[in-house]
Structure 1
């Protein structure tokens, strides 16, 4: 996992994640994964434990093949969801099984899961607990439904984070999360949320979290994100990409921006 140190000096890794959602079929997903591996291999500045962290999140049926394609590469494999329980839950996939498949990261609480599948804060909390128990890193998605002031948006996101990890006694779990800040009103939009707004929300959220833990989770932005955005988000730890990264050329451009950011010693403060 990647946490943002609240002390001066330490640089958090820049994290670039991408989800295929349900856009790609099985064979198209395999071709895309092979291309992703090549794109990453062409950039020797990306390596395990290095300054740029790459997470790829394909559809469930592709996970086993994806693990084989990405084996030996620095790319971390993620899943788009996990179950809140075990056993007789037809159609669900447990966090424990994902861990067996070699998954490292699991996306939880995406706005589409909340709105289209009725996932409440209580369900998100159960899934977060299961993911942590299985040794997975929850990529917890948070964000406001409508545009607010940055102060209000940060408070809304903080409430979502604290709800997901449970009572105060469980706040040691904060440092084990990766936060995807995705304002719902920007998901699927023609353009991302304004960089000035995203920077302020991210910075305010980080400061609120720092009041509760020394290991503040990394915060990455998602919501119509693509090439050209990362250099504008100086106060965020990376990007969570969607449809724009299904073209691996765009993915490569974003990786170059991440590498350039690190070469100049830039990281959120």
Structure 2
């Protein structure tokens, strides 16, 4: 039985002080759900204070990105061992905003996935299509390709630790949400390609989230779908209502 995972991607929001305030607000609201894995993903600058703030709770901390080199002349980048040493467990890789604004490619995301596993980090691997690609009828083809390249040369033992997040680009921050049926169709397609890469048992162990304007009103219906194992939540993770998603 796959454990539901609800992760909050705070994006470029919350100073360290504000991060602690939000965590202290949310802790008593989500700490009772032992059947849901809760992850907060604040900006780099708040990782260490966030790890300290959640000690003794069931809440995990994740980073929003990392680079695929160990060190060097890469101004502004953060290496995998730097975030691992902060005490984080997860790292979001391949978010559509990273692909769109910073030119990340499927190949660079694969490099990051490999480095994440090397440093004991669990990647949350984002895949998804634009509105134009959906209208062209290539959603499944695109998501299959993104999934296959992300997992190139990744063992099934490592793959089982990964989380996939299906995030239709047209639903991120727009208030639009894929219907539960649309989301389930794509998450099921991701699971099918995972079974092709590895086997059905491995595919059955990997968790797949839906992300894209997830909120307290639609979480229960989305998470009830057989191939949706939780959500990667953006704007709604920045307020107390996030607890309602966790407690769907």
The two structures have a TM-score, normalised by structure 1, of 0.83
Report SS of the residue matched to 1:148.
helix
Question: Would the aligned equivalents of 2:170 and 2:176 in 1 still touch at CA under 8 Å?
Answer: no
Report SS of the residue matched to 2:67.
coil
Residue 62 to residue 201, structure 1, CA distance change in 2 (3 Å) = same
Report SS of the residue matched to 2:78.
coil
- Counterpart in 1 of 2:232? 240
Shift of 1:149: 7.5
- 1:205 and 2:190 are equivalent in the alignment: yes
Report SS of the residue matched to 2:103.
coil
Residue 12 to residue 170, structure 1, CA distance change in 2 (3 Å) = closer
Cα displacement string for residues 78-128 of structure 1 (whole angstroms, at most 9, x for unaligned residues)? 000011102212222111121111110000000111110111122111111
How do residues 114-193 of structure 1 correspond to structure 2 at under 5 angstroms? 114-146=99-131, 148=134, 152-167=138-153, 170=155, 172-193=157-178
Partner Cα separation in structure 2 for residue 244 and residue 25 of structure 1: 17
Shift of 1:153: 2.1
Cα displacement string for residues 110-161 of structure 1 (whole angstroms, at most 9, x for unaligned residues)? 0111110111122111111110100100000000122527984233212112
Question: Would the aligned equivalents of 2:16 and 2:49 in 1 still touch at CA under 8 Å?
Answer: no
Which of the numbers 201, 213, 224 marks the counterpart of 2:213? 224
Partner Cα separation in structure 1 for residue 159 and residue 52 of structure 2: 31
The two structures have a TM-score, normalised by structure 2, of 0.90
Moved more, 14-23 or 143-152: 143-152
| RMSD between superposed Cα atoms in Å | 1.9
- 1:81 and 2:68 are equivalent in the alignment: no
* Consecutive unaligned residues in structure 1, runs of 5 or more: 1-10, 258-269
Question: Would the aligned equivalents of 1:151 and 1:204 in 2 still touch at CA under 8 Å?
Answer: no
